[in-house]
Amino acid sequence: MTRAALSVFMYGLYLVLSVAVSFLMFPHFALELFGLSAGDELWVRFTGLFAGVIGGFYIAAVMSRFNPMLGWSVLARYASATFMAAMVATGTAGLGLLIFAALDALTASITWVAIRTDAEEKAAA
């Protein structure tokens, strides 16, 4: 498994095992941990389901060696981080959302560097 594939695989596991499970099983606890409000419990659980599905797609892409997905995931995570930061900047969401934004931006950067490193090593071989 390449470095880029491993980074996307680990991000997929994070989505499935951390975000999805906590939002589906313990929605109020997960939200309170980050200083977010629940409102209607349905949207929180739906978000958990959605995170699990996306995480599953990332894992499936890595396992099936669908390499274009690796680069696409970088763009998607940067877009997600930008959106979350904008929600905080406009006062629509609390500061706790910046933790998720930072994780998305950090993991996207790790994957981007890994893609470049893998490509350089392949070109040198």
Model confidence pLDDT, tens digit, residues 85-123: 999 999 988 888 899 999 999 999 999 999 999 999 999
Report in angstroms the alpha-carbon separations of 39 from 1, 61, 63, 108: 41, 34, 37, 30
The residue segments making up the domain with residue 57 are 3-124
Res. 29: pLDDT tops 80: yes
Q: Which percentage of the chain shows pLDDT scores above 70?
A: 98
User: Total domain count for the chain?
Assistant: 1
Note the pLDDT of residue 28: 85
Q: How confident is the model at residue 48 (pLDDT cuts 50, 70, 90)?
A: very high
CA 101 to chain centre: 9
Counting beta carbons within 10 angstroms of the beta carbon of residue 23, is it exposed (0 to 12), middle (13 to 18) or buried (19 or more)?
buried
Q: How confident is the model at residue 38 (pLDDT cuts 50, 70, 90)?
A: low
Are residues 105 and 81 in contact, defined by beta-carbon separation less than 8 angstroms? yes
Res. 23: pLDDT tops 70: yes
